[in-house]
Amino acid sequence: MSDGARRRRSKRNKDQEAPHHDRWILSYADFITLLFAFFVALYSITLKQAGDEKELSNTLSGVFDAVQKSIKPINVGEPVSGQPESERLLEVVPKDEVEADNPPGEIEGRSPLYDALSESINSQFPTLQSDGQVSITEDANWITLDMKAALVFDQGDYELTNEAVALMIVISNILQSYPAPIMVLGNTDDLPTNSTRIPSNWHLSSLRASSVVDELVYRGINPKLLAPIGFSSENPQVRNTNEFARAQNRRVTLKISKRRDDNLYDYLFN
C-alpha cells in the first residue's frame, strides 16, 4: 500500500472516531422547550386564579403538546396548580391586622341542640362567642363546640378554671336534655411543655380532655356517652407561626353526635 493510501485511510479512521461536538444542541433544545413550557404554565395558573378556565385549558394543552414534539422530551409529570392539602392551613394574625376570612357556610335548619347550646351560652356568658373564646358549628353529623384553652385552663395546667366550671354547668344542663355520644378532644400548640410533671403535649392534651370529661360526668352526663382524646399539636387549626396563631390551636373541643346511641363505644365500633 502506498504512503498516500495509508494517509487517506488513517484520516478516514480518525474522522470516524472523532466525537461529534454539536450533540449538546439536542439537549439544549429540549431544555429551552421545557423552560418555555414552565413559564407559560405559570402564566396559565395566574389565568386560573383570575377565573379564565377556558383560556387556561387551551394554553396548557398547547404548551404540553408542543413539549411532546421535541426530539426526546423529558417526562415532568402532571402540572399542578394550587396548594396541596397539607399547605392549606392558614397563617393568622390578630383581627385588627388583617380582614377576617369569610365565616363557614351555615347549613339549612339548625338542630334543637345547636340552638339550645348557643342561646344558653349567650345568655349566661354574653361575650364568649363574640370574643372567639367559644364557637359552635354543626354539619350533617356533628355539633362542634370549641373552647379556647385560655378560657378553660391556666397556662400549662389541666385543672379547670372557675369560669370553665361555670360553663360546664350550663353545657351539662343542655346535654342532659339531648343525650348523645360525645368525644372531648384536647389540642395544644407546637411548643414543648416546661413541666416535669407533664412531660409532653400528648400528656397535656389528654389530661385536659380528661378534666372536661370528669366535670361533665360530675354534672350528670352519662359516662358511657363520653371519651377524652388527646391530639397533642397534631391537629392544628392554623399554622403555629406566632403567639396569636398558637392561642387558636390551644383548645378543647366537644364533638357531639347528632345521632342518638346508648353509648359511644357502640356508636364508634359496632
pTM over the 0.85 mark = no
Half-sphere exposure in the Cβ direction for 127 (13 Å, CA): 3
List the chain domain ranges.
Answer: 24-82, 110-269
Which percentage of the chain shows pLDDT scores above 70? 66
Domain 110-269 sits in CATH 1.10.3720.10: no
> Which pLDDT tens digit goes with each residue over 35-54?
777 777 777 666 555 555 55
Q: pLDDT per residue over 153-195, tens digit each?
A: 998 899 999 999 999 999 999 999 999 999 999 999 999 998 8
Q: What is the pLDDT of residue 107?
A: 41
User: Taking Cα atoms as reference points, which of 121, 264, 242 lies closest to residue 183?
Assistant: 264
pLDDT tens per residue, range 114-142: 999 999 999 999 999 999 999 999 999 99
**Number of other CB atoms surrounding residue 46 within 10 Å:** 11
Tens of pLDDT, residue by residue over 226-238, are 999 999 999 999 9
**pLDDT at 109 exceeding the cut of 90:** no
CA dihedral 186, 155, 167, 205 (to 10 degrees): 10
Q: What is the mean pLDDT of residues 240-269?
A: 92
